[in-house]
């Protein structure tokens, strides 16, 4: 790993319905009450989030109004819940456990196209990034994303558990150009797929495409202390009580960069660990965590206050330590430039005058703890 991603904060928010098991309804968006509060916190600390919209979110007028008001302060992306995106088979309707890989590839690609077009039409902005549900990016989705000109995906993570177990372990920890035939593998530099001279539907009209690649920006999970990668799979195969004992002993303490799943101290430990490893810190948030009583992780007003306090601790830490805030597409562009001739992309990322690169030292509240 290199240090090119050192002190880079990437905040992603999957904008999706409230948890039906908590609110007792499908497709509810009561949690939008918290989205404005969250964005104001981002604004105070000069954090530029990436909002990944589900299909139903793009049909929710309040959501569209909020995101339009964000303007250039946020990036817009797409988040696939296949059961709500046409074409919808009868067996898919209302199936909240439906994974992208459960859908026939050609129909899945049609869903991706319809999702991107719906968001573009609703917001007036074309999505530039993407996240599949259930950590389930497939070759069919990757091909559709490349065709649509989507720059970044953030569906995978080497330490995430899928229904097939820990099938993502071979995924790199740092951003990489995706091989569309094997999404967990970086694309070989001489195997990039040129699609120049093709006209692609952007959702806002046709545009001429240049050679395009899809960059994976893995979700961040790290061990608190150095842990050999070769030992990760044997560790994961240990019985739960044994892993718990090792965690309590400080031998193998796995931390996920999610405010719903980690303490403030754990989130800050992730920041310090990624800084040492030279990795970007990619935070994962669900919009239904931003209000009380709309998710299983934030049930009460006290839970909500603690959640926002954890967020502010992270934003204050990154501000005080001169981190930069990047969107998924900004990470993708810098990654794609690494093997291209020209100046080092890191200089552009660290230049506070570069368009839309947010330095956390600017516009932050004075005297923050």
User: For residue 35, what are the contacts with CB-CB under 8 A and spacing of at least 6?
Assistant: 13, 15, 63, 66, 287, 290
User: What pLDDT shows up at residue 353?
Assistant: 36
Global pTM value: 0.88
What are 122-137's pLDDT values in tens digits?
999 999 999 999 989 9
Question: What percent of the chain has a predicted confidence (pLDDT) above 70?
Answer: 84
pLDDT digits (tens, 9 = 90+) for 54-91: 999 999 999 999 999 999 999 999 999 999 999 999 99
User: How many whole angstroms separate alpha carbon 176 and alpha carbon 182?
Assistant: 12
pLDDT above 70 for 296: yes
Query: Residue 165's pLDDT is what?
Result: 66
Give the relative orientation of helices 301-320 and 264-277 as an angle to the nearest 10 degrees.
30
Task: Classify strands 206-208 and 129-132 as parallel, antiparallel or unpaired.
Answer: unpaired
Structure tokens of 309?
């306090």
Judging by DSSP bridges, how do beta strands 199-201 and 75-80 pair with one another? unpaired
Task: Work out the average pLDDT over 137-141.
Answer: 97
**Residue 195 in this model has a pLDDT that exceeds 60:** no
108 part of a folded domain: yes
Which residues contact residue 43 at a Cβ distance below 8 angstroms, ignoring those fewer than 6 apart? 73, 363
In a domain, 81, yes or no: yes
Average predicted confidence (pLDDT) for the chain: 88
Total domains, the chain: 1
Asked whether residue 118 carries a pLDDT value surpassing 70, the answer given is: yes
pLDDT tens-digit profile of 267-280?
999 999 999 999 99
Query: pLDDT band for position 1 (50/70/90)?
Result: low
113-117, 148-152, 357-361: range with lowest mean pLDDT: 357-361
Residue 108 has pLDDT above 70, yes or no: yes
- Confidence at residue 289, expressed as pLDDT on a 0 to 100 scale: 99
From 126-130, 255-259, 349-353, the region with the lowest mean pLDDT: 349-353
The confidence score (pLDDT) of residue 207 equals 42
Closest CA to 77 of 105, 58, 102: 58
Beta strands in 26-179 (DSSP E): 50-53, 75-80, 129-132, 152-153, 176-179
Tokens of 357: 């690169």
How many other C-beta atoms can be found within 10 angstroms of the C-beta atom of residue 243? 17
pLDDT level of residue 48 (50, 70, 90 thresholds): very high
Q: What pLDDT score was predicted for residue 170?
A: 87
Q: Is residue 273 part of a domain?
A: no
Quote the domain boundaries for residue 58. Answer: 8-220+279-359
Residue with the larger pLDDT of the pair 284 and 188: 284
What integer pLDDT is reported at residue 51 of this predicted model?
Answer: 99
**Would residue 259 count as lying in a domain?**
no
167 found inside a domain: yes
Dihedral sign, CA of 334, 318, 12, 122?
negative
pLDDT of residue 169: 86
pLDDT value at 203 more than 70: no
pLDDT confidence of residue 200: 41
Residue among 98, 102, 93 at smallest CA distance from 81: 98
- Of 250 and 59, the structure prediction assigns the larger pLDDT to 59
At 223, the pLDDT band (50, 70, 90 cuts) reads very high
| Both tokens assigned to 15 | 């904008």
Centroid of chain to Cα 316: 21
- The answer to whether 152 touches 77, Cβ cutoff 8 Å, is yes
For residue 363, the model assigns a pLDDT of 38
Residue 261 lies in a domain: no
Is 306 a domain residue?
yes
What's the pLDDT score for residue 256? 96
Domain with residue 144: its CATH number is 3.20.20.370
How many CB atoms neighbour CB 87 within 10 A? Answer: 12
For the cut 90, the answer to whether the pLDDT of residue 194 exceeds it is no
**Domain annotation covers residue 142:** yes
Q: What percent of the chain clears pLDDT 90, i.e. is strictly above it?
A: 74
């Amino acid at each position: 790993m290199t240090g090119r991603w050192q002190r880079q904060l990437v905040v992603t928010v999957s904008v999706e319905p409230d948890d039906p098991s908590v609110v007792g309804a499908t497709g509810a968006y009561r949690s939008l009450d918290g989205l404005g509060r969250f964005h104001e916190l981002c604004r105070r600390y000069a954090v530029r989030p990436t909002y990944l919209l589900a299909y139903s979110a793009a049909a929710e007028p309040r959501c569209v109004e909020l995101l339009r008001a964000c303007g250039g302060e946020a990036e817009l992306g797409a988040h696939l819940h296949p059961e709500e995106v046409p074409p919808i088979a009868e067996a898919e309707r209302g199936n909240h456990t439906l994974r992208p890989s459960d859908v026939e590839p050609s129909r899945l690609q049609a869903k991706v196209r319809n999702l991107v077009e719906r968001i573009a039409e609703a917001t007036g902005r074309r999505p530039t990034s993407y996240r599949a549900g259930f950590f389930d990016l497939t070759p069919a989705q990757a091909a559709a994303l490349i065709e649509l000109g989507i720059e970044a995906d953030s569906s995978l993570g080497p330490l995430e558990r899928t229904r097939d177990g820990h099938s993502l372990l071979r995924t790199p920890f740092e951003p990489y150009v995706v091989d569309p035939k094997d999404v967990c593998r970086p694309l070989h530099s001489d195997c990039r797929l040129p699609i120049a001279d093709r006209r692609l539907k952007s959702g806002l009209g046709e545009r001429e495409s240049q050679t395009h690649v899809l960059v994976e920006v893995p979700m961040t999970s790290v061990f608190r202390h150095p842990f050999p990668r070769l030992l990760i799979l044997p560790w994961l195969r240990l019985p739960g009580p044994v892993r718990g004992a090792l965690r309590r002993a400080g031998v193998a303490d796995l931390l996920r960069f999610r405010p719903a799943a980690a303490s403030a101290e754990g989130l800050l430990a992730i920041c310090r660990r990624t800084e040492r490893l030279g990795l970007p810190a990619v935070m994962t948030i669900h919009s239904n965590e931003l209000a009380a009583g709309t998710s299983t992780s934030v049930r009460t007003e006290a839970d909500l206050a603690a959640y926002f306090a954890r967020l502010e601790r992270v934003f204050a830490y990154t501000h005080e330590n001169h981190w930069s805030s990047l969107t998924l597409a900004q990470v993708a562009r810098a990654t794609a430039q690494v093997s291209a001739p020209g100046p080092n992309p890191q200089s552009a990322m660290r230049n506070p005058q570069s368009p839309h690169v947010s330095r956390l030292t600017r516009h932050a509240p004075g005297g923050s703890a």
